[in-house]
């Protein structure tokens, strides 16, 4: 199983010689050796939104040498209350998130190399994007996503290649974080995301930030905790062993021991059947003939959506219509999302498959 390199990157300045990291390196358990480990490290962040932004910012400021930023989306005005790497100018110009984030990280710390990758992660490209990028395989993979299938897909990649995976989730006022896959530094079993989640929930059954809202400080806390998970592993060789969940407004907290949550029959981390990585990617047509619209095929797994529940979750987002066969959400600027009983959807108002999938993930999930 791959573990982070012990050697500093060539030409890297140790913490004792770099005032930028002096307060950090003064921690007794950190020191110059811990900082040197960061200077040789590579972290891949998939999804540079509410979670990926604070995680990337904290890691760049800490001195992680190389950070790959993978995201398919453009900066939008609705992102700005919680996605801290972006500005109003980025939203006005519809700058790709990965590009805007990389520019901001370079401004924060010119000594860190941030690589933007504008891509929609699917089973067709996940391994090449994560393991075969310009910086080489990562030491840690950070989950900044908001869709279950893509999360289980990168969990497959992490388990298959023995790369540490830091999970984070945030919706409404509830958050969670934990190191779900890690190098065997302590010799104990550890749950992967498939152990914890089991399978993909039915389409529309889980809230998203667009249907349930999200509190801005929540994503900052979860993203910062993800960064702390990364730094604890890289600099201190001390992986955490709990999946922590909390409700920020209710002031409640819980934790699951990841050794106890490990499924001895897990199809992914035990049987090594990488269902999401080996399956064909979700289909999205280049466009429907004669229409400015894209069709999104039903998810490969999970139960059919509860259309009434989906329609209720869309209340207040736009004009909503529901029948036994479909739920339709009409947003501003002539964008219409129609979800059918089998989970298939048509997104009108675009001919870009990646943009259509992004809308599906925002308003349906998955």
Please answer whether residues 61 and 86 qualify as being in contact, where contact means their C-beta atoms are separated by less than 8 angstroms: no
Assign 3-state DSSP to the chain and report helix, strand, coil percentages, each to 5: 35, 20, 45
88, two tokens: 């109003």
Active site residue 195: no
Catalytic residue among 53, 192, 195, 209: 209
Vertex 51, ends 236 and 163: CA angle to 5°?
A: 45
The DSSP secondary structure of 269-337, one letter per residue, reads TTT---HHHHSPPPPB-S--TTSSEEEEPPPSSSPPP-HHHHHHHTTTTSEEEE-SSEEEEE-STT-EE
Pairwise CA distance, residues 253 & 224, whole Å:
17
Contact 36, 8 (CB under 8 A): yes
H helices of 237-319, in order, are 275-278, 307-313
Round to whole Å and give the CA distance between 279 and 190: 25
CA 329 to chain centre: 25
In eight-state DSSP terms, residue 15 is G
Distance from C-alpha of 341 to C-alpha of 305, rounded to nearest angstrom: 6
Closest C-alpha to 334, from 347, 343, 325, 344: 347
Give the gyration radius of the chain's Cα atoms.
Answer: 20
Q: Is residue 268 within 8 Å of residue 274, measured between CB atoms?
A: yes
| Interacting residues of 261 by C-beta distance below 8 A, sequence separation 6+ | 191, 195, 196, 243
Task: Give the whole-angstrom CA distance, residue 213 versus residue 78.
Answer: 11
Query: Which residues are known to be catalytic?
Result: 209
């Amino acid at each position: 199983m791959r573990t982070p390199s012990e050697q500093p990157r060539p030409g890297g300045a140790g913490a004792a010689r770099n005032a930028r990291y002096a307060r950090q390196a003064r921690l007794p358990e950190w020191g110059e050796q811990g900082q040197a480990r960061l200077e040789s490290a590579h972290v891949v962040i998939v999804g540079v939104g509410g979670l990926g932004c604070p995680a990337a910012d904290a890691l760049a400021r800490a001195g992680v040498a190389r950070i790959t930023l993978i995201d398919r989306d453009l900066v939008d005005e609705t992102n700005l209350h919680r996605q801290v790497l972006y500005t109003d100018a980025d939203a006005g110009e519809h700058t790709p998130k990965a590009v805007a984030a990389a520019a901001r990280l370079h401004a924060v710390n010119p000594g860190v190399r941030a690589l933007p990758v504008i891509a929609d992660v699917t089973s067709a490209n996940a391994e090449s994007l994560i393991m075969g990028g310009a910086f080489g395989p990562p030491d840690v993979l950070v989950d900044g996503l908001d869709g279950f299938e893509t999360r289980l897909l990168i969990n497959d990649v992490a388990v298959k290649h023995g790369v540490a995976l830091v999970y984070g989730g945030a919706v409404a006022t509830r958050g969670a974080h934990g190191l779900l896959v890690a190098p065997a530094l302590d010799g104990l079993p550890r749950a992967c995301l498939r152990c914890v989640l089991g399978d993909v929930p039915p389409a529309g059954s889980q809230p998203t930030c667009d249907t349930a809202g999200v509190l801005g400080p929540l994503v900052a806390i979860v993203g910062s905790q993800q960064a702390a998970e990364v730094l604890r592993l890289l600099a201190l060789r001390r992986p955490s062993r709990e999946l922590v969940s909390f409700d920020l407004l209710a002031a409640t907290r819980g934790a699951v021991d990841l050794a106890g949550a490990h499924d001895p029959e897990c199809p992914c981390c035990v049987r090594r059947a990488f269902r999401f990585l080996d399956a064909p990617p979700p289909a999205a047509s280049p466009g429907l003939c004669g229409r400015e619209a894209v069709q999104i095929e039903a998810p490969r797994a999970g139960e059919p959506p509860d259309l009434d529940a989906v329609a209720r979750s869309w209340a207040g987002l736009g004009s909503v219509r529901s029948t036994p066969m479909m739920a339709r959400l009409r947003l501003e600027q002539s964008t219409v999302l129609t979800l059918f009983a089998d989970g298939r959807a048509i997104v009108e108002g675009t001919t870009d498959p990646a943009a259509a999938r992004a809308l599906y993930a925002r308003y349906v999930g998955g």
